[in-house]
């Protein structure tokens, strides 16, 4: 939590200093400040928070970055400084965040801290040098390349901050979180960078009329991403419904697939899986018992971990065949059908599903000492049945408080992200 306090403290210090300087010197270029402030506030108001995905405000992010790198308005050099940029962005973001704060979205503080620090970084890198005339000789492609370079550096800083905040909130490994943030920059992050640069360049030439013209594509992108998230959420709900078929048929206890999926995701994050790998792991964990629907004689209580190895593999192969018929990603079917193989031959996701499923079955109605006894049995089985690194990861996850294991951050891009989403790009 030290890093979390440091980030929030730095953002608060930058905000207070910027407000003090702006109040002391007065607001320059008030028309520009008002126009960009309205744009940023609208972007924050349209920020969404899907229950399984990341929060996103690409329009607000693009407007903030373009104001930080604004050097002129219709050919007239701007007069605002870095402190005014931070002040305008902060006030506009606070106004736009009122509905989110009212709704109790706890990630708003992280979102504002990241916005202040990233915009402050871009403004400090650009505004003092521009106001001193350092960039007067830069024109055409060179000036555009300068803006893109500064925006790229700002995006990298934002990714590091997002990964650090997520690590503090969740305790997940920092490296995989950072890789996922950097991967996200190739998607909507690149659109934010390009839009920010285009708006800054267009306003410098044609004035504030460029704002509504060049913001429209970002609004369309935001709408498309939101619809894509809704489609992904519906797809996951379909997977979850298929997974419940074994419970409805009486093959497995109620909630078994959901518990295995939740614990598998926690282990996967601890082992450094990110993005698509977590999504495949989640889907496979939800559907790992679906092969029991093809059995003539049901397995007692659906406990497959105690069956002979040959029978486990037969059920796994039946499950893989069922998954392939549903049209789910073939990678999910591979995990399902290989979950009973010897662990040296399994992909990591199959190793996780096998160990977590066995743990859940062994602890079912086993009393207070069940979890410890189950972990001991899994450790004894690492000679051939269960991967040692997965069992130790499971032990680490189980050692965390229940609230910490279920705590949810932010981004992420996959449906495996927990709810409510935490703030990431934009």
pTM as predicted: 0.76
Of 382, 398, 53, which Cα lies nearest the Cα of 232? 53
| End-to-end C-alpha distance for the chain, whole angstroms | 23
Predicted confidence at residue 110, as pLDDT, reads: 85
Predicted confidence at residue 414, as pLDDT, reads: 36
Share of the chain above pLDDT 70, in %: 90
Q: What does the block give as tokens for 53?
A: 């995905």
Assign 203 to helix, strand or coil.
helix
Give 269-282 pLDDT, tens digit per residue: 888 887 788 889 99
CB atoms closer than 10 angstroms to residue 375: 19
Give 251-261 pLDDT, tens digit per residue: 888 888 899 99
Beta-carbon contacts of residue 283 (< 8 Å; ≥ 6 apart): 236, 239, 328, 329, 332
Helices (H), 69-140: 82-102, 108-131
| DSSP 8-state class, residue 56 | E
Give 364-389 pLDDT, tens digit per residue: 766 777 788 888 888 888 777 888 99
The least confident of 266-280, 295-309, 382-396 is 295-309
CB atoms closer than 10 angstroms to residue 270: 20
The least confident of 53-57, 94-98, 108-112, 312-316 is 53-57
For residues 178-188, average pLDDT: 82
Average pLDDT, the chain: 83
Name the strand (E) or helix (H) holding 73: strand 72-73
Q: How far apart are CA 334 and CA 144, in angstroms?
A: 47
Predicted confidence at residue 405, as pLDDT, reads: 52
Between 414 and 238, the higher pLDDT residue? 238
Residue 409, pLDDT > 80, answer no
Give 13-27 pLDDT, tens digit per residue: 999 999 999 999 988
Predicted confidence at residue 105, as pLDDT, reads: 62
Predicted confidence at residue 410, as pLDDT, reads: 35
Whether the CB-CB separation of 273 and 176 falls below 8 Å is answered with yes
């Amino acid at each position: 939590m030290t890093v979390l306090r440091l980030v929030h403290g730095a953002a608060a210090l930058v905000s207070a200093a910027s407000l003090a300087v702006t109040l002391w010197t007065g607001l320059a270029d008030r028309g520009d400040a008002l126009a960009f402030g309205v744009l940023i506030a609208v972007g924050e108001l349209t920020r969404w928070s899907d229950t399984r995905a990341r929060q996103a405000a690409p329009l607000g992010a693009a407007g903030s970055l373009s104001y930080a790198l604004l050097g002129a308005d219709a050919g007239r050099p701007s007069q605002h400084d870095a402190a005014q940029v931070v002040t305008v962005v902060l006030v506009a973001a606070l106004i736009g965040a009122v509905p989110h704060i009212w709704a109790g979205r706890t990630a708003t503080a992280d979102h504002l801290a990241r916005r202040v620090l990233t915009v402050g970084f871009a403004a400090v890198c650009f505004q003092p040098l521009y106001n001193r005339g350092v960039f007067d000789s830069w024109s055409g492609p060179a000036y555009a390349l300068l803006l893109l370079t500064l925006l790229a550096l700002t995006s990298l800083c934002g990714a590091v901050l997002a990964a650090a905040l997520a690590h503090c909130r969740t305790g997940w490994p920092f490296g995989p979180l950072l890789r996922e943030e950097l991967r996200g920059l190739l998607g909507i992050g690149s659109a934010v960078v390009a839009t920010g640069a285009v708006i800054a360049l267009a306003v410098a030439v044609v004035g504030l009329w460029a704002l509504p013209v060049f913001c429209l594509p970002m609004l369309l992108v935001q709408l498309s991403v939101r619809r894509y998230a809704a489609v992904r959420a519906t797809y996951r709900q379909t997977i979850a419904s298929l997974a419940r078929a074994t419970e409805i048929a009486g093959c497995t206890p109620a909630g078994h697939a959901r518990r295995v999926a939740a614990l598998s995701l926690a282990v996967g994050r601890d082992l450094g899986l990110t993005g698509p790998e977590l999504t495949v792991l989640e889907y496979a964990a939800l559907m790992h018992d679906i092969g029991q629907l093809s059995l003539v004689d049901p397995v007692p209580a659906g406990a497959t971990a105690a069956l002979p190895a040959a029978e486990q593999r037969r059920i796994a192969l039946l499950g893989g065949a069922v998954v392939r018929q549903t049209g789910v990603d073939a990678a999910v079917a591979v995990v399902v059908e290989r979950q009973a193989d010897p662990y040296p031959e399994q992909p990591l996701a199959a190793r996780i599903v096998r160990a977590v499923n066995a743990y859940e079955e062994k602890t079912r109605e086993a009393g207070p000492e069940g979890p410890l006894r189950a972990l001991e049995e899994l450790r004894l089985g690492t000679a051939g049945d269960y991967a040692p690194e997965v069992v130790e990861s499971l032990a680490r996850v189980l050692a965390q408080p229940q609230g910490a294991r279920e705590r949810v951050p932010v981004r992420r891009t996959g449906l495996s992200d927990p709810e409510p989403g935490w703030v990431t790009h934009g």
